[in-house]
Amino acid sequence: MATFLNKFLIQMSGKFAVQSITAQKIWRRVLKFWLKNSIFAYMKDYWQNKQDINRLFDAPQFRKLKYAALIVIGIVIAVQFAMIIWLEHIPYKTMLFLRGCVGAGAIVFVILAAILAYKVYSEYFRDRFNKE
């Protein structure tokens, strides 16, 4: 494949009457262009964006909301494990009530997580477009 590409680049350099450019120089230019405009450039931006977003998730104005969501899901998991452990000792109506509480807690967690994600990403895009 490389020899075919080298032959092709040599032919192309001759067709465009650029005799000073060798196949190696063209190959270097092709690689530079490919590295700038390929997945590597995207991944560099991706990791930078991910660090910016993580920094925003740890920002003081969003910390309360994040901890509230973690506390809610922790309570939900604790109640779920308690229901599993004491399955035979809990009355049926109490078990249904606890299952309802677990479901409501899960819904509250999803709402808190969605609010947190909305606030963080809106702040991220606001900062990103204000820089430009």
**Concatenated DSSP letters for 44-92?**
HHHHHHHHHHHHHHTSHHHHHHHHHHHHHHHHHHHHHHHHHHTTTTS-H
> What does the pLDDT read at residue 94?
92
Side chain identity, residue 111: I
pLDDT tens digit sequence for 23-63: 777 777 776 766 666 666 666 666 667 787 888 888 888 89
Residue 125 tokens read as: 């895009």
Sign of CA dihedral 86, 73, 48, 118: positive
Q: Is the pLDDT confidence value at 107 over 90?
A: yes
- Work out the average pLDDT over 90-98: 92
Would you list the domain boundaries of the chain? 2-37, 53-131
Task: Report whether pLDDT(17) > 50.
Answer: no
User: pTM for this structure?
Assistant: 0.61
The pLDDT score that the predictor gives to residue 42 is: 60
Give the residue with greater pLDDT, 130 vs 68: 68
| Mean per-residue pLDDT, 114-129 | 86
Which residue has 């190959």 as its token pair? 27
Whole-angstrom Cα distance, residue 70 to residue 91? 29
